[in-house]
Amino acid sequence: MKNSLALLLLLAASTCLVQGQSDEDRLASYLLRRLGKTGSIARPIAPGNGSQAVDLSLGLSLLRVASLKESSAEMDVWIQMFWKDPRLSWDPAEFGGLSQIALPSNLLWIPDVRPFHAGNYIPDRVSPVRVVAMSSSDVIYVLPARLRAPCDRLRNKSMSCRPVLGSWVYSGLLLNATLSSSPFNIADFEPLAGWEVARATAKRVETYYDCCPEPYISIKYSLVLDKKRKGKDGKGKGRPRGEEDDD
């Protein structure tokens, strides 16, 4: 009798605990169970298909040029990454209609995107950035950082700066990086005194090395800044229409 009563009390307590969980709590627990203890560090691919590449869409948002010198520039940016992880999918109807959730980035696989200029990467010194997981298995990761990119002065006194991003260890056969729909976004760029953005472009490059038969993919960005020239009213003027840059 005592054992039966204890069992009933335990079941009642468990039911209250489950009912007390929010939809977000239940969803987070469900996804963490699907990731497992080791699944979080492995690439998100189907079982038995180790040769499958993860498709990564990569974008860069330029917020500010913090420092501009003759040979380099420091840029405050958001590195934007989009990929799919089948382990992070669910039916929103089972979790109160939730179609997305923010998860700690250290609990799942993250693309190892870094600049290709050694030592020129300074992550933003804030709390670890969370990823946004969607019920469709889409994952969004926006990383604030400061990049130090090499620059050259062009003949027309413009400055050309060229940051490069790509996977540090994965070949293109394992991580296929492509340009996002907005590969180099300057919509939120904070104006730099005395300069204006003349061009911001991005291109995908496949490189083959002597050591390895597989391609390694990088995204090369080009930021051209024009020196503003003062008009008769003392205000800055951009480059005359039709004047071209040197690449």
Contact 101, 27 (CB under 8 A): yes
Range with the poorest average pLDDT among 8-22, 53-67, 101-115, 186-200: 8-22
SS3 (DSSP) at 210: coil
- pLDDT over 90, % of the chain: 65
Q: Is the pLDDT of residue 218 over 90?
A: yes
pLDDT recorded at residue 21: 85
| Residue 217 tokens, joined | 């993919």
| Residue 221 tokens, joined | 């960005």
Range with the poorest average pLDDT among 7-16, 44-53, 140-149: 7-16
Mean pLDDT of 116-121: 63
Range with the poorest average pLDDT among 34-43, 105-114, 158-167: 34-43
pLDDT recorded at residue 97: 98
Residue 202: Cβ within 10 Å count: 20
Q: Using the 8-state DSSP alphabet, how is residue 76 labeled?
A: E
Contact 158, 224 (CB under 8 A): yes
Domain architecture of the chain: domains with CATH: 2-237 (2.70.170.10)
Contact 225, 192 (CB under 8 A): yes
pLDDT recorded at residue 12: 42
Amino acid symbol at 64: R
Q: Are strands 175-185 and 54-68 parallel, antiparallel or unpaired?
A: parallel
Residue of 39, 35, 17 lying closest to 26 (CA atoms): 17
Q: Is the pLDDT of residue 245 over 50?
A: no
Q: What is the pLDDT of residues 26-67, one digit of tens each?
A: 999 999 999 886 557 889 987 777 789 999 999 999 999 999
CA distance linking residue 216 with residue 39, whole number of Å: 25
SS3 (DSSP) at 55: strand
Q: What is the pLDDT of residues 119-139, one digit of tens each?
A: 555 555 556 789 999 999 999
Mean pLDDT score of the chain: 84
Contact 122, 145 (CB under 8 A): yes
Mean pLDDT of 212-234: 85
Mean pLDDT of 165-177: 96
Please give the model's pTM, rounded to 2 decimal places: 0.81
Contact 119, 150 (CB under 8 A): no
